[in-house]
């Protein structure tokens, strides 16, 4: 899988930042595989999803890092196909 997205960063009111939300573009990507066990109706699924985006700065010079971040989400589970 591959695509583009919009990430909305919104700090909490309890964090003390006193800044509003900020949107940044991001790139999504991922891959997965299903491995059947015993029969074709039962098996294991392994997947990886990633999101690559620029870190938020909320328009404040003291928060500007110009850094990019990668959020990874590996998953594994069982599936039953009816």
- What's the pLDDT tens digit per position in 26-43? 999 999 999 999 888 899
Would 45 be classed as within a structural domain? yes
> What domain range includes position 80?
1-7+23-57+66-82
Per-residue pLDDT, 16: 59
Strands (E), 1-82: 2-9, 22-37, 39-54, 68-80
The percentage of residues in the chain with a pLDDT greater than 90, rounded to a whole number, is: 57
Give 69: exposed, middle or buried? Use CB within 10 Å, 0-12, 13-18, 19+: middle
Would 12 be classed as within a structural domain? no
Would 43 be classed as within a structural domain? yes
Would 74 be classed as within a structural domain? yes
Q: How far is CA 76 from CA 33, 39, 43, 47, 80, in A?
A: 10, 19, 11, 6, 14
pLDDT classification of 4: cutoffs 50, 70, 90: very high
Would 73 be classed as within a structural domain? yes
The answer to whether 33 and 26 are in contact (CB under 8 A) is: no
Would 79 be classed as within a structural domain? yes
The answer to whether 43 and 78 are in contact (CB under 8 A) is: yes
**What total number of domains does the chain contain?**
1
Q: What pTM does this model have?
A: 0.70
The answer to whether 27 and 47 are in contact (CB under 8 A) is: no
């Amino acid at each position: 899988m591959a695509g583009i997205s919009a990430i909305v960063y919104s700090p909490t009111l309890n964090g003390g930042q006193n800044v509003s939300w900020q949107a940044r573009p991001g790139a999504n990507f991922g891959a997965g595989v299903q491995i059947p066990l015993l029969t074709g109706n039962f098996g294991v699924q392994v997947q990886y999803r990633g999101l690559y985006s620029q870190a938020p700065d909320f328009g404040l010079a003291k928060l500007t890092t110009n850094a990019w971040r990668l959020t990874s989400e590996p998953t594994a589970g069982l599936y039953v196909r009816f």
